[in-house]
Amino acid sequence: VSLLQAAGKNNSNLLEITEADLKEQFVRGDGPGGQATNKTNNCVVLKHIPSGIVVKCHQTRSVEKNRKIAREILQQKVDLFYKGEDSDVFKEKKALEKKKQEKKRRTKENLERKKQLKEMQELDKK
């Protein structure tokens, strides 16, 4: 479920999450960033208690932005968990995959046409 990291989408049709169902922690993030990362607890870990889904967000240096992004991601994951294939998140993911496959197919066809054209031009020269 890697495409669910697209925070900022329209969340109007997703399941609502109450704050009582969440457990929130602030921990030190990891990765590049040196002292700014190693000394500040700006990584947000959210756990949705009823489903057991855990989200860790350390996309920005701001705790408030990370809290907001983590909630959006968690809401999408919980929606997918409970609705399954009926979820808007799932449908959007499938549509993106289909679009990607179509683009890949068209690119392959274009390369094949170019290859044939080049072969025909070489035969004409001989």
Q: What is the pLDDT at residue 1? A: 34
Prediction pTM value: 0.62
Task: Report yes or no on 33 lying in a domain.
Answer: yes
Q: What's the domain range around 39?
A: 19-84
Task: Report yes or no on 118 lying in a domain.
Answer: yes
- Please count the other Cβ atoms lying within 10 Å of the Cβ belonging to residue 29: 21
Q: What is the pLDDT at residue 12? A: 57
- Do 92 and 80 lie in one domain? The reply is no
Task: Report yes or no on 8 lying in a domain.
Answer: no
Task: Report yes or no on 14 lying in a domain.
Answer: no
Q: What is the pLDDT at residue 114? A: 95
- Do 114 and 79 lie in one domain? The reply is no
- Span 58-105, pLDDT tens digits: 988 889 999 999 999 998 888 888 888 887 888 888 899 999 999 999
- Do 80 and 95 lie in one domain? The reply is no
- Do 79 and 90 lie in one domain? The reply is no
- Do 56 and 101 lie in one domain? The reply is no
- Span 32-57, pLDDT tens digits: 777 767 778 889 999 999 999 999 99
- Do 44 and 92 lie in one domain? The reply is no
| pLDDT grade for 4, boundaries at 50, 70 and 90 | very low
CB 81 within 8 A of CB 67: no
Q: What is the pLDDT at residue 46? A: 94
Which DSSP string do the residues of 10-71 spell out, in sequence order? --TTSPP--GGGEEEEEE---SS-THHHHS---EEEEEETTTTEEEEE-SSS-HHHHHHHHH
Task: Report yes or no on 61 lying in a domain.
Answer: yes
Residue 7 has pLDDT above 50, yes or no: no
Per the DSSP assignment, residues forming a β-bridge with 53 are: 48
| pLDDT grade for 3, boundaries at 50, 70 and 90 | very low
